[in-house]
Amino acid sequence: MTKAAFRLLLLLMVAIGIGFAIVYRDVFSAQILESWVSRFGPAGPLVFIGLYAIATVLFLPGSIITLVGGALFGPFWGVLYNLTGATIGATAAFMISRYLVADWVEKKSGPRIRHLKSGVEAEGWRFVAFVRLVPLFPFNLLNYALGLTRIQISHYTVTTCIAMLPGAVAYTYLGYA
């Protein structure tokens, strides 16, 4: 399979997933999610983490899933599982953006966008921390937008995980309470 065909296939899979998530968004209520994850018994945490990661890639709101994580697993394990799922999903979206569309966006962008991208890349992890800690920027969209830059994946992943910790603690505890 050529690189272009692989990119097209991956992009198609993401588009289908987003379409599925939009059509079936009512199915992802907190009660349904909680009952579904509990059916897996000891494997429930792994299923939950995987579901959280997939939901992040598909632009589903993480706040509901984080609340459910707190209700299901309590404050300590809930934070750990929520943070793990969100970090895996954020990194997956970042990589999808980087390897599927970053080159195309680079070719199509004008000098202003290139200048903005250069500034973001120069700040690296500091920029990631800033946009993660300021609640004005939508989490799921940031994953894809930051994938268009050349920020190191390791810097992105570690900073994203650390900067999401305060929100994960707050929402998980709220779900637990």
Structure tokens at 132: 């993660």
> In the prediction, which pLDDT does 116 show?
74
Residue with tokens 């404050």: 75
Residues in the chain: 177
Structure tokens at 167: 């929100």
Please check whether residue 66 is in contact with residue 82, taking contact to mean a CB–CB distance below 8 angstroms. Answer: yes
**What predicted TM-score, i.e. pTM, was given to this entire model?**
0.79
> In the prediction, which pLDDT does 34 show?
74
> In the prediction, which pLDDT does 92 show?
96
Structure tokens at 125: 């992890």
Grouped pLDDT means (10 residues each) for the chain, 177 residues? 69 70 63 77 92 91 89 94 98 92 76 74 86 85 88 94 95 92
> In the prediction, which pLDDT does 28 show?
58
Residues with Cβ within 8 Å of 40's Cβ and at least 6 positions away in sequence, in order, are 46, 47
Residues with Cβ within 8 Å of 150's Cβ and at least 6 positions away in sequence, in order, are 121
Please check whether residue 90 is in contact with residue 167, taking contact to mean a CB–CB distance below 8 angstroms. Answer: no
